[in-house]
Amino acid sequence: MDAESLELPRLPARSPDAHKGDAGRVAVFGGRCGEAWMPGAPALVARGAFRAGAGLVRICAPSPVLPGAVQIEPSATGVPLPTDGTGSLIPHETAELFDEIVETCDAIAVGPGLGTDIGAIALCLRAVQQEHAPVIVDADAINCLALVPELHRDFRARAVLTPHPGEFSRLASALRLGVKPEDGASRSEAAERLAQRLGCVVVLKGLGTVVSDGVRTWVCDRGHPCLATAGTGDVLTGLIAALAGQYLQPPPMPGLPEHIRAKMPADPLRPLDLFDVARLGVQAHAVAGELWADRSGVESGLLARELADLLPEALGGLRDHAE
């Protein structure tokens, strides 16, 4: 579909009687220990989710890393992921804990700072095999999935993948797609091919971020070079997860005939599909970068947490009216 014909939808206003339990519950799986600890990555995802309106955010990180992550973002609660003596995730215990957590979530974010050990691979595969909650797959989670043979056979989740070109190339190569995202002329085709292969939404990051569900493709024409700094991708992951947790249409009831499903009224507070959730997240992220650059008067020096703090204003311009 021609990207020029795809207008952005509007975000609905929040219900006046909303409380934190029904304003989007997000679980963030990330952070690693061992040689390089990365508590900041899941913390920035959590901050992005909160600034995008999520009511509750849990950071699920390796037990040695978790205290630092929650200290960085104290509004989040923490769930320690089991690790062995080397700091690696214990695969079967992590999978069992994941299954418990996902049942109480409206959206999942997995990957930032996670690493690619065997426990991380098992966790990421579990995330895309489940069908309960939409999952935003970023960073190391994409690298982990590139190591899973015949991934397309196990991929069942309602998912948004948010690769930069390097991560995209690793996954596309593993799936034998034969596409290169570095060429500006072929970025849309590359995103479409990956989305079709896995049945997901792909957000191919970079200048002119491409969003595709394999049928519809949209290219963002907003943004600023200041976004080229560590942590801004983590903020985007949290932002999309929060929007999915608040506004994504529920999945169709299993076994419900299509003619009955078509007559069911839409939920006005959850009017969006996953493609639109991803587009709105990308747009708000880009606008927040522009706001920072305009107010600072410089082209670089943005901190990811500053970007997250501008998301409420950026999202405000995408709403029907103020909350």
Per-residue confidence (pLDDT) for residue 262, from 0 to 100: 56
Tell me what percent of the chain is helix, strand and coil, each rounded to the nearest 5: 45, 15, 45
Beta bridge partners of 59: 28, 78
86 in Cβ contact with 273 (< 8 Å) = no
pLDDT in tens, 231-284: 999 999 999 999 999 999 988 766 655 555 555 556 777 899 999 999 999 999
What are the backbone angles phi and psi of residue 278, rounded to the nearest 5°?
Answer: -65, -45
Comparison of pLDDT for 265 and 292, the residue scoring more: 292
Q: Does 65 score more than 80 pLDDT?
A: yes
Gap between the Cα atoms of 247 and 136, Å rounded: 14
Per-residue confidence (pLDDT) for residue 50, from 0 to 100: 98
Question: What global pTM score does this model have?
Answer: 0.94
Fill in the DSSP letter of residue 248.
B
Per-residue confidence (pLDDT) for residue 16, from 0 to 100: 84
pLDDT in tens, 133-171: 999 999 999 999 999 999 999 999 999 999 999 999 999
Gap between the Cα atoms of 227 and 168, Å rounded: 19
- CATH class belonging to 21-248+265-316: alpha beta
Q: Does 2 score more than 80 pLDDT?
A: no
Q: Does 23 score more than 80 pLDDT?
A: yes
Gap between the Cα atoms of 198 and 72, Å rounded: 34
Q: Does 14 score more than 50 pLDDT?
A: yes
Per-residue confidence (pLDDT) for residue 4, from 0 to 100: 46
Q: Does 189 score more than 50 pLDDT?
A: yes
Question: How high does pLDDT run on average in the chain?
Answer: 92
Per-residue confidence (pLDDT) for residue 5, from 0 to 100: 57
The set of residues, in sequence order, having a beta carbon less than 8 Å from that of 235 and lying 6+ positions away, is 44, 45, 47, 48, 285, 304, 307, 308, 311
Q: Residue 45 corresponds to which tokens in the numbers above?
A: 């995802």
Q: Residue 88 corresponds to which tokens in the numbers above?
A: 């690696």
pLDDT in tens, 67-114: 999 999 999 999 999 999 888 999 999 999 999 999 999 999 999 999
Fill in the DSSP letter of residue 83.
B
Please report the DSSP string for 121-188 in residue order: HHHHHHHHH--SS-EEE-THHHHHHTTSTTGGGT--S-EEE---HHHHHHHHHHTT----TTSGGGHH
**pLDDT cut 90: percent of the chain above it:** 82
Q: Residue 91 corresponds to which tokens in the numbers above?
A: 């695969």
Instruction: Show me where the domains of the chain are located.
Output: 21-248+265-316
Q: Give the highest mean pLDDT range of 30-34, 105-109, 176-180.
A: 105-109
